[in-house]
Chains A and B, each alone.
Chain A
Amino acid sequence: MVPLSWYLVLSAALFAIGVAGVLLRRNLIVVFMAIELMLNAVNLSFVAFARQLGAEDGQVIVFFVMAVAAAEAGVGLAIFIQLFRARETLQADQVSTLRW
């Protein structure tokens, strides 16, 4: 059996990769994917904790996270579409009219 901490470390690593993706990629859709990675990393932690505790709360929370992810995806992608319509780009560094 693999101890809890292995899952947690994996989760942390995944989360970090997601964070790195958010910071590095220029394409906003990919950035958003990286955020999904972060959420999934957290989900892994939840499920692992739930298993460790022997209680299903963690799994229930994962449902909610999925709902949130879906909601965010719906709204977020709509925002991207709007952005693309207005600017013909999805490059993060080209969206900086508002600054200083």
Chain B
Amino acid sequence: MSPLVFVVLAALTLGAAVAVVLNRNPVYSALALVSTLALLSCFFVGLEAYLVWALQLVVYAGAIVVLFLFVIMLLNVQREESVLPAPGVVAGVGVGAGLLALGVAHAVTRAPAVAMPAVAEGYGSPAHLARRLFTDYLVPFEITSVLLLVAIVGAVVLGKRRI
């Protein structure tokens, strides 16, 4: 990915992210979120993570955000009277979040900026990923199944009207 493309994409991504936060209407926020996720997936392509790219679009942007939209619609949530709290609070949060970003950025950029090395053949391919997933990451994978079970039980328990 060339620097120019990166910068443009990054700007768009950040803009979309800010739109998620600043948009008055939750539906628009959700749409901005979809945009952000989609834009992010472009970086995954740039990083040669094709499977992740696909999943990002399908699972994340597709399934999860749709779930959001669904709930928003279901609950018919009104738009907020004002998007943001008092300017002082906003400034404070801005400073805090900025400091966080700066701090993390400071930490991660202290390492010498070397160009990314070339990767082996098949990097990011489903086969490779699957192999890792079922060997080194077998336990996490299994735990994920438990997690999803918990989520199902939980969502059912909380969601259903009568026991």
Residues of A within 8 A of B (CB): 1-10, 12-21, 23-27, 29-30, 32-34, 36-37, 40, 43-45, 47-48, 50-52, 54, 56-57, 59-60, 62-64, 66-75, 77-82, 84, 90-91
Contacts and interface: CB of A to CB of B under 8 A. Distances in A.
25 contacts: A9-B105, A10-B14, A13-B105, A16-B100, A24-B93, A27-B29, A27-B80, A29-B26, A30-B20, A30-B29, A37-B21, A37-B36, A43-B56, A47-B52, A51-B48, A59-B129, A62-B49, A69-B64, A70-B151, A73-B64, A75-B154, A77-B155, A81-B75, A90-B77, A91-B80
Q: Classify the interface of chain B: helix, strand, loop or mixed.
A: helix
Given A67-B144, A90-B75, A57 B136 contact: yes
B65 to A, nearest CB: 8
Given A56-B123, A56-B132, A75-B155, A33 B33 contact: yes
Contacts of B159: 78, 81-82
Interface of B: 1-3, 6, 10, 13-14, 17-18, 20-21, 23, 26, 29-30, 33, 36-37, 40, 43-44, 46-49, 51-52, 55-56, 59-60, 63-65, 67-68, 71-72, 74-75, 77, 80, 83-85, 89-90, 93-94, 96-98, 100-102, 104-105, 108-109, 111, 113-120, 123-124, 128-129, 132-133, 136-137, 140-141, 144, 147-148, 150-152, 154-155, 158-159
